[in-house]
Structure 1
Amino acid sequence: MSAPPKRSTTTLLAFVIVFLTLSLVLYPEQGFQAAMSGLKLFWDAVFPALLPFFILSELMLGIGVVHALGVLLEPLMRPLFSVPGVGAFALSMGLAAGYPMDAVITAKFRKNKMCSRIEGERLLAFTNTADPLFMFGSVAVGMFKNPALGMLLAVAHYIAAFLVGVSFKLYGRGAKHTYDSVPQPRRQGNLFVRSYQEMIRAREEDGRPFGKLLGDAVNDSIKTILMICGFIIFFSVLIKVLTLSGVIPLFTWPISGLFTLLGIDQDLVTPFLSGLFEIDIGSAQAAAASASLNQQLLIVSAIIAWSGLSVFAQVASVLTGTDIRFTPYVIARILHAVLAAIITVILYNMGMGQAEATVLAPFSNGAQSTTGILSHVQIAFGALYHWIIIIGITLVLSLAIYMIRRIRVIFWMSRVRDR
């Protein structure tokens, strides 16, 4: 049984909720406009990008495709990040569809006992990434009007995520009981045979007819996507009323002092604070600030890696019902934000993003920020296209590692026999 909430916490929450309610009553028109902006953002960008992936991930889990991929990708994911091979599926989904797709997949893995608690926390630490369409289209083209910056932000973002994953490999090494994965029966044969056997086992274990599986996938996906919609609208309104009521400006002085110490333009204080709450609003404000481009990119990169309290709330809701702890996730986001900001500045000073690049056209053609010029079909197929590329690359790398190991074992055995 969970411990009852503390009285001080209850009192504070009650005060905050009453204050926010009164603020919304005092600023009804502005709150309504903020809610409409949040709804438009959800409908134009989030809904078409995430819903197909939610449905497909449910189907692939039920049919056993994810389990088969887990066996094929184990040679890559286990040495690099100390997570099961199925972690690559969560990683690829997160890279292609963005927040909070990785959390949804990780929570399902834990509920289905496909990873331990520690492995789930490691997985969530580095798979929480923005999708390429957001960085190339929304940020680079829509906010900065410069497609070349998309490559800079994406490279810095994904290198930082990789470094976070490698760092978290050491996390939980001394943990007992909860660290151990649920044992699976050992399969015979080579990697491909074991992969096929695992898919058949998972499908038989699920047992639902395809019609039932499809219906459940659509039903669960709609519930999750509506929850995300609610959080986006709520935080859009929250940021607006906190700004109008003077709460957010109160927090500017400590951030202002930190920025002065680091030599960062003061015009980026408010965008940074907004980005702590919501990624799109903070990024757009930073791009519009009258600061140098390298400092704008530093703040935007940190905001994208941090992802915002709106995404935090979505992840926390998705993790409900699992034993995955939230604190490692927060630590990972701070580390990701710092690393992404530093790498962005380094790459920019090396010349990346300072010239137009025609190779970016497929990513940024016609894209805008949250105005939704990309059609829903373009966004959905763009995300699927990226997922296919990502999962294909990870499969090739994993199989290459597996084959190199097999060759080394065969070579070693032949030398032993010769002796």
Structure 2
Amino acid sequence: MALVVGIVRSPEEAFRASLGGLEIWWKTVFPGLLPPLMLAELLAASGLLHGIAALGSPLFRRLFRLPAAAGWVAAFGWTAGLPAGARETARLRERGLVRGREAESLLLLSHMPNPFLVIVVVGSGFLQAPAYGWAIAAGLWISGIATGMLWPRLSGNESNTTEAAGEPPIDGDVSHQPSGSALRRAYRAMQEARLADARPFGKQTADAVTSAVATLFAIGGLMMMSAVLLRIVQTALPGTDAWLTIPSLYEMHLGAYASGRSALFESAPAKAAALIAAALAWSGLSGLLQARAAWSGSRFPWPRFIAGRLLHAALALVATYPLAIAAERGWFAPLTPVWRGFAGPLAATEPAAGPLPSGWALLPGTTLAAVACLGIFVLLALLAALISPRRRGGDKRPK
């Protein structure tokens, strides 16, 4: 009701704020995240993430006290970004492969922002400093691993409870089998996952586009609603900067955008980068609602999930600050040319201060990204052909 009253009282401000959120989404978030989301879906369909999870399953069980089947969910969540981790965690929970506290720990571990969002959109687009994007991404990954290690021990999660019950593997995860080398087990997991998918590469690509666009439209809608809410809060607090602390609580994209244009980033960029990392780890109320929407079935563990996100945010703040100082000194300089200029310069100081230069218009950066995506598509097609279903010995064909 308060939001409705605010829109009725200031319709012009609400419209401008909504348009500003749309511009940020269309000209930075959409072009920056569409290719990575598509590639994440194709990597999952090709079985590559299953192979990676099979390789790391012994270390995964030892560090995070989760069954081997959970490794695939963590790999997919870290690659595709939220809410993919919550969706796959719910799927494992429905199949009985994770239960109780294990599902909560896996949900917390796999709820991560897309790495391309951090490096391309936040680093190159919002901050105009790709080095800070790499520092924030590294801080998020380090703190995510630390949170995943601490949370099961703090919550009393027992190790390998579901595997002890003799549950079957998911989607060809054969990393629990003792026979064969690690690489052979990883290859077998990739092949089984590819067989279980059974879609041709063209169908996989079309489904990846559909899924990525649907996810981005949901993000865009949340950004527009959050922008309207934040503008109303800003109108209620005129002449102050208190509203700058609020965007990160509601929506992580708008929070990163506002923090990158605050006075703090101009005076102390390392501290601002650490705060952005904490905001991305928290993921905002919109990120929490996305995870809840993807969590089908029984009651969502709201108190423990919020507590885990706050723990991750605190650890991200601590882990990112020294990395951001290192970025100031040029330690990440060898990594920045690849992403420089991809998202486009954002010269506006406010979302509603006029049109933003589009990331689509920067031909060199987008051309590089398009060529890279095309190369990955070709490699995935070759991989799909390599591990395609083979005929058994009983199938005799004329020579």
TM-score (norm 2): 0.69
Provide the residue aligned with 1:234 in structure 2.
225
Provide the residue aligned with 1:189 in structure 2.
179
Does the 8 Å CA contact 1:69/1:85 hold for their aligned counterparts? Answer: no
Provide the residue aligned with 1:410 in structure 2.
none
Query: How far apart are residue 365 of structure 1 and its match?
Result: 1.0
Following superposition of structure 1 onto structure 2, how do residues 308-319 of structure 1 map, counting pairs within 5 Å? 308-319=284-295
Query: How far apart are residue 334 of structure 1 and its match?
Result: 0.7
Separation in structure 2 between the aligned mates of residue 269 and residue 142 of structure 1, nearest angstrom: 24
Does the 8 Å CA contact 2:67/2:162 hold for their aligned counterparts? Answer: no
Correspondent of 1:173 among 157, 167, 188: 157
Following superposition of structure 1 onto structure 2, how do residues 151-300 of structure 1 map, counting pairs within 5 Å? 151-170=134-153, 171-173=155-157, 183-184=167-168, 187=177, 189-190=179-180, 191-195=182-186, 197-198=188-189, 222-244=213-235, 246=236, 249=237, 269-291=242-264, 292-293=267-268, 294-300=270-276
Provide the residue aligned with 1:361 in structure 2.
336
More helix as a share of residues: 1
Query: How far apart are residue 308 of structure 1 and its match?
Result: 1.4
Does the 8 Å CA contact 2:260/2:272 hold for their aligned counterparts? Answer: yes
Separation in structure 2 between the aligned mates of residue 55 and residue 378 of structure 1, nearest angstrom: 16
Provide the residue aligned with 1:15 in structure 2.
none
Query: How far apart are residue 203 of structure 1 and its match?
Result: 5.8
CA 1:69–1:243: 2 relative to 1, 3 Å: same
Structure 2, gaps ≥5 residues long: 170-175, 347-355, 361-365, 377-399
Does the 8 Å CA contact 2:252/2:280 hold for their aligned counterparts? Answer: yes
Does the 8 Å CA contact 2:33/2:117 hold for their aligned counterparts? Answer: no
Query: How far apart are residue 206 of structure 1 and its match?
Result: 6.0
Query: How far apart are residue 164 of structure 1 and its match?
Result: 0.7
Query: How far apart are residue 335 of structure 1 and its match?
Result: 1.0
Provide the residue aligned with 2:111 in structure 1.
128
Query: How far apart are residue 86 of structure 1 and its match?
Result: 4.9
Provide the residue aligned with 2:172 in structure 1.
none
Separation in structure 1 between the aligned mates of residue 99 and residue 151 of structure 2, nearest angstrom: 15
Question: Across the two proteins, how many residue pairs are aligned to each other?
Answer: 349
CA 1:65–1:345: 2 relative to 1, 3 Å: closer
Query: How far apart are residue 188 of structure 1 and its match?
Result: 6.5
Q: Percent identity?
A: 28
CA 1:324–1:360: 2 relative to 1, 3 Å: same
Cα deviation, 1:121-140, whole Å, max 9, x if unaligned, reads 22232333334444444444
Separation in structure 1 between the aligned mates of residue 118 and residue 194 of structure 2, nearest angstrom: 37
CA 1:176–1:119: 2 relative to 1, 3 Å: closer
Provide the residue aligned with 2:4 in structure 1.
21
CA 1:164–1:231: 2 relative to 1, 3 Å: same
CA 1:82–1:374: 2 relative to 1, 3 Å: farther
Separation in structure 2 between the aligned mates of residue 179 and residue 120 of structure 1, nearest angstrom: 13
Q: Secondary structure at the match of 2:326?
A: coil
Separation in structure 2 between the aligned mates of residue 37 and residue 379 of structure 1, nearest angstrom: 26
Cα deviation, 1:41-74, whole Å, max 9, x if unaligned, reads 3333444455555555556656655544443331
Query: How far apart are residue 199 of structure 1 and its match?
Result: 5.2
Does the 8 Å CA contact 1:90/1:106 hold for their aligned counterparts? Answer: yes
Structure 1, gaps ≥5 residues long: 1-17, 251-266, 387-419
Correspondent of 2:308 among 332, 335, 346: 332
Correspondent of 2:326 among 352, 356, 359: 352
CA 1:295–1:179: 2 relative to 1, 3 Å: same
Does the 8 Å CA contact 1:48/1:380 hold for their aligned counterparts? Answer: no
Separation in structure 1 between the aligned mates of residue 74 and residue 371 of structure 2, nearest angstrom: 18
CA 1:312–1:140: 2 relative to 1, 3 Å: same
Query: How far apart are residue 145 of structure 1 and its match?
Result: 4.3
Q: Which amino acid aligns with 1:20?
A: L
Does the 8 Å CA contact 1:59/1:213 hold for their aligned counterparts? Answer: yes
Q: Secondary structure at the match of 2:329?
A: coil
TM-score (norm 1): 0.66
Query: How far apart are residue 346 of structure 1 and its match?
Result: 4.3
Does the 8 Å CA contact 1:126/1:164 hold for their aligned counterparts? Answer: yes
Separation in structure 1 between the aligned mates of residue 187 and residue 273 of structure 2, nearest angstrom: 45
